[in-house]
Structure 1
Amino acid sequence: MGRASTQALQSGPRARTMKERRTMTDRSAVGAPFVDLPAGRMRGGTEGGVAVFKGVPYAAPPVGELRWRPAQPHAGWTGVREAVEFGPSAPQPFIEGGDPVLGGHGFPPFDDDCLTLNVWTPAADDARRPVMVWIHGGGFVSGSGSLPYYSGETFARDGDIVVVTLNYRLGPLGYLYLGPGHGEPEPGNFWLTDQLAALRWVHENIAHFGGDPDNVTVAGQSGGALSTAALAGHPAAQGLVHRIILQSPPFGLALPDPAGCAERTDMFLKAVGVSDVEALRQVPWQRLVGATMALFGPCARWGYWPTPFLPVIDGITLSRHPVETLLCDGAADMDVMIGWTRDEANFHFALPGAGYESATRRQVLDRIADTFGDGAPEVYAAYERTRPGSRPVDVLMDLVSDELFRVPALQLAEGRAEMGRPVWAYQFDFATPAHQGRLGAAHCLELPFVFGNFDNWSGAPFLEGVESGVRQGLARSMHQAWISFVRDGRPDHPGLPQWPPYEAGSRSTMRFDSVVSAMDDLAGHSRLLHLGASR
């Protein structure tokens, strides 16, 4: 990550105070949409022909004594609450000048009073439209449901659906484990309690916005896809989720148990300069974010995806790896769409400055040996054959893409196919010309095509040089497929080649590129290399 802006961490350019945002009167809002909720009356605005309600609180502010506590109900408000500006994003590192791939993961203002959501709807009526809840990614330390990237306007307008995006606690405020070993009786995974609270809010309130609480699709990308899987199989979410979309889920991450979190928690407390939880509750969030930045180096391992925080299998809020829940219990019968980008790992490893351009064959062989032991030379050769002229860094990127994203997704698809459960699989193959083509079809690149809102991505470097005609054609195919899945659980639509479900015989996978086509066993090389020829 780049250098964090100290000024942004301290305050951020806030046009109004939180109190002013919540009580201001928009005198130009003649005909603005209103909703009457159990919590109080609310006035929204309109954008692109759809109604939008921003900064809607779905839980109590997790501040003071509620810091590192499970999400609590919001007390509501009196009078008319203005819902025309986004709430602040969760505290997170801010990269001054943006990053060379997305351009930015989250932008000020930041505040630990961040548990708000946003709703886009064709009309706040009683039409009971399908609902899509979007959960952003960001390596568990960054991101925001308030980013223009994730505006629900296109989905609401093009698909006649209601879209919800949300902010939830990130980094140490959401993922730091402070269990009994650190004097704290509460369980972990505060991010998960936030997301569960948001789903309950949707179930109880979305009908007021024209949505159907009995037809809710939860979709997420990267860390947000792991969240989606955790929610789908969670006992507290039964009846709140009806189908899911998993975009680049990092199911290859080994999630720690409480004992496995102890060293990292101690490291964080040392970086902050406190020794107990009560003292930590008094620390301004800016110092917590600064300590997060200090953890990236010590927590990094060569050839692995970098993140200082992970969900914890605490046995209370999360009893097993989220991917396992999709093969059993209530989640087994859900409609599932899952996919990955062809070159996931290029996002972190491909660009100069990432530290991998000069990787040697010996280094990569040692990294492969972590997984394949003495078989590392044969695996290296197998990757070389799939990419003639490849360098050691290319083999490394293909390995990490497989281990963290593609192969675990294939394992899920294989498992559900064996059970006769519905699953639709895709691979995003479109390579961007940005950065002299080094990124390929990198992690996150499918997002602007899924949302179909390229104007909102004008500052994203990874779209530079993409030809507009190809871009729009591929976006139409993907955007409409997502709409179709949200509406009825199948991604097929008239503008798309037939997309059969992933089954044991065919392993049909939709390939999204300048030419879209369904292919049998598209990721067969990865599947055979990692899962064995018997699968």
Structure 2
Amino acid sequence: MGLVVSLALLVGCSQGVTATPRQQAPAAQAGPAVVQTADGAVRGVVAPGYRVFNGVPYAAAPAGPHRFQPPQPAAPWPGVRDATKPGLRCVQDTSFDPDYGRPTGEDCLNLNIWTPDGAGRSSRKPVMVWIHGGGFLNGSADIYDARWLATQGDIVVVTVNYRLGTLGFLAHPALSPDGDVGNYGLADQQAALRWVRDNIAEFGGDPTKVTIAGESAGAMSVCDHLVAPESAGLFRAAILQSGPCQAQADRATAERVSAEYATSVGCSDPAAIAECLRSRPVKELQSAPLYVGFGPDKLTGPVTGTDRLPVDPMTDIALGAMPRIPVLIGSNGDEFAMFAALQYLKDRGLPPYPKLLADTFGPDAPAVAQHYPLDVFGGNEGLAYSAAVTDSVFACPTDRIASGLARTNPVYAYEFNDRTAPAPDPLRVVPFPVGASHSLELRYLFDVGGAPPLNPAQRELSDQMVAYWSQFVKDGNPAVSGLPEWPQLGTDGAAKRMSLQTAQLTLTEDFGARHNCPFWATLKGAR
């Protein structure tokens, strides 16, 4: 399967119209559970070692005339707003999501703030803004319980919702008179970053020390913010987990597919397409146009060649034109095994190995079959197919990104290699191990359910990862007293990466060779 699977399935469970000036809401009663924002006071939850404020609006509901528009400021509210429960998730297809009972809606532009004890206006903490994954089609901010990062790491964590699928990335030219089509979800993320800049000090966060971070589509979003003009200056460091930057739609492709999509939902009158799309019942817009991707499945997402995202991030990496900021970047040792397992479960088996390769790699399939012969993997199609796609789609693009950035930036690279990482129940019944698969490192940083708990060795690895990530957020360098030194990634052939695994953390120098990156670089369609 493609990157369209939500994390919820795995864990079980700006440029726009100038707004009128906002009036400052009356000050609220002081107390650790109540914080004053620019729009009004919010009351969160005070727990041992931390506070959490849920569902805080950072923009107005993008509904009605604001659908398919950049986000607008949230309206101030009187009194104290309840921030003890999550806000709405953004509209998404919940038919295959075991967490479907949780409500979705267009009034979903909200975020959650986790603060450690001691965070206050006189003792501000560095901030990590987390952008969730889900293939730009599903997922939500409240899946990520960030109390470990807050309490053990002593940082403020903000998790963000943003528009998804059709509502977030439809790029029909009729929707934007100035031609800056699509990217509404990316604009939401930028609005959230501006909200953090303007409000996080009230929660004890330091607005001058913001790191943006994300996994999968969240990491792809981080890639985009590295080159998006309106994101400049809103963060000082970046973390990219399992999200190579190649999944970008060019404007011509996005507009063509979006036009086909509009016709498919009954909006074909050239004079009324925008009005038609904005008036369609939201249930009719839960699916999404397909722009780009890999293999038989594809994903929607940000559109390049637009004002908000003028260039493909991979192009800027090649040119060395990224901002000179610290970057922590990595992937998992068995990324694609989870997707292969989900395909196995969905279809009650996998197609023959030659068909799997042909469907995914097209004319390159014979070369891939020679480089990944089935007998090397004990005749197991799932293992062989997973290894090939892991290397081609995740490992080698991540290696190329990291190496390109390391020419000009401080880069700290890792590979998550706990091949006994807890996986959700369905993934543990397929006839091949999923190992250190896509998204499984997240439960070492966040308290996400839906799988067996971490064992003592994994709990130790979790503590180490929380320490490394938090220290990077604090000063752009994951140097933790008592833990192995994590050196910057060099540009020579002996580049060292941190291998995150139980028993003993190690530094490796053979990442590219182990994942056959020289081979993948020779292919005509190399990513």
The structure-2 alpha-carbon separation of the partners of 1:288 and 1:57, relative to structure 1 and needing over 3 Å to count, comes to same
The structure-2 alpha-carbon separation of the partners of 1:181 and 1:202, relative to structure 1 and needing over 3 Å to count, comes to closer
The structure-2 alpha-carbon separation of the partners of 1:355 and 1:361, relative to structure 1 and needing over 3 Å to count, comes to same
Any stretches of 5+ residues in structure 2 without a counterpart?
A: 2-28, 423-427
Equivalence map 1:80-95=2 (5 Å):
80-95=80-95
Checking the alignment, whether the CA contact within 8 Å between 1:55 and 1:85 is kept in structure 2 is yes
Give the distance between the partners of 2:318 and 2:208, measured in 1 at CA: 22
Give CA deviations for 1:486-511 in whole Å, capped at 9, x if unaligned.
Answer: 11112232343222121123211111
Question: Shift of the alpha carbon at 1:518?
Answer: 1.1
Any stretches of 5+ residues in structure 1 without a counterpart?
A: 2-28, 99-103
SS at match of 1:337: strand
Give CA deviations for 1:22-41 in whole Å, capped at 9, x if unaligned.
Answer: xxxxxxx9955222232223
Give the distance between the partners of 1:309 and 1:472, measured in 2 at CA: 35
Question: Shift of the alpha carbon at 1:129?
Answer: 0.9
CA-based RMSD: 2.9
The structure-2 alpha-carbon separation of the partners of 1:368 and 1:191, relative to structure 1 and needing over 3 Å to count, comes to closer
Partner of 2:396: 407
Partner of 1:128: 124
Question: Shift of the alpha carbon at 1:414?
Answer: 1.7
Give the distance between the partners of 1:344 and 1:107, measured in 2 at CA: 29
Give the distance between the partners of 1:218 and 1:188, measured in 2 at CA: 22
Structure 1 residue corresponding to 2:235, chosen from 234, 241, 245: 241
Partner of 2:438: 443
Checking the alignment, whether the CA contact within 8 Å between 2:175 and 2:181 is kept in structure 1 is no
Length-normalised TM-score, structure 2: 0.83
1:425 and 2:413 matched: yes
Give the distance between the partners of 1:140 and 1:519, measured in 2 at CA: 32
1:512 and 2:505 matched: no
Give the distance between the partners of 2:101 and 2:411, measured in 1 at CA: 35
Structure 2 residue corresponding to 1:362, chosen from 354, 360, 379: 354
Checking the alignment, whether the CA contact within 8 Å between 1:48 and 1:153 is kept in structure 2 is no
Partner of 2:463: 476
Checking the alignment, whether the CA contact within 8 Å between 1:349 and 1:356 is kept in structure 2 is no
Question: Shift of the alpha carbon at 1:443?
Answer: 0.5
Give CA deviations for 1:356-391 in whole Å, capped at 9, x if unaligned.
Answer: 94433432453575374xxx5444232239944243
Give the stretch that moved more between structures: 358-367 or 37-46: 358-367
Give the stretch that moved more between structures: 400-409 or 351-360: 351-360
The amino acid of 1:334's aligned partner reads I
Structure 2 residue corresponding to 1:346, chosen from 329, 337, 340: 337
Question: Shift of the alpha carbon at 1:74?
Answer: 1.9
Structure 2 residue corresponding to 1:288, chosen from 261, 285, 288: 285
Partner of 2:155: 161
The amino acid of 1:59's aligned partner reads A
The structure-2 alpha-carbon separation of the partners of 1:231 and 1:485, relative to structure 1 and needing over 3 Å to count, comes to same
Sequence identity percentage = 35
Give the distance between the partners of 1:181 and 1:60, measured in 2 at CA: 19
Equivalence map 1:8-407=2 (5 Å):
31-95=31-95, 98=98, 108-122=102-116, 123-147=119-143, 150-180=144-174, 185-253=179-247, 255-275=248-268, 276-289=273-286, 291-292=287-288, 304=295, 306-326=297-317, 331-351=322-342, 352-355=344-347, 357-367=349-359, 370=362, 372=364, 376-384=365-373, 387-407=376-396
Checking the alignment, whether the CA contact within 8 Å between 1:349 and 1:397 is kept in structure 2 is yes
Question: Shift of the alpha carbon at 1:514?
Answer: 2.0
SS at match of 2:46: strand
The amino acid of 1:444's aligned partner reads S
Give the stretch that moved more between structures: 242-251 or 175-184: 175-184
Give the distance between the partners of 1:329 and 1:206, measured in 2 at CA: 31
SS at match of 2:130: strand
The amino acid of 2:498's aligned partner reads M
The structure-2 alpha-carbon separation of the partners of 1:329 and 1:467, relative to structure 1 and needing over 3 Å to count, comes to closer
Question: Shift of the alpha carbon at 1:327?
Answer: 5.7
The amino acid of 1:34's aligned partner reads V
Higher relative contact order (CA 8 A, sep 6+): 2
The amino acid of 1:476's aligned partner reads D
The amino acid of 2:258's aligned partner reads T
The structure-2 alpha-carbon separation of the partners of 1:216 and 1:471, relative to structure 1 and needing over 3 Å to count, comes to same
Checking the alignment, whether the CA contact within 8 Å between 2:374 and 2:384 is kept in structure 1 is no
Checking the alignment, whether the CA contact within 8 Å between 2:115 and 2:157 is kept in structure 1 is yes
Give the distance between the partners of 1:96 and 1:393, measured in 2 at CA: 22
Give the stretch that moved more between structures: 29-38 or 316-325: 29-38
Give the distance between the partners of 2:392 and 2:211, measured in 1 at CA: 27
The structure-2 alpha-carbon separation of the partners of 1:76 and 1:520, relative to structure 1 and needing over 3 Å to count, comes to same
Checking the alignment, whether the CA contact within 8 Å between 2:337 and 2:382 is kept in structure 1 is no
Structure with a larger share of its residues in helix: 1
Checking the alignment, whether the CA contact within 8 Å between 1:55 and 1:87 is kept in structure 2 is yes
Partner of 1:494: 481
Give the distance between the partners of 1:214 and 1:328, measured in 2 at CA: 27
The amino acid of 1:261's aligned partner reads A
Checking the alignment, whether the CA contact within 8 Å between 1:140 and 1:170 is kept in structure 2 is yes
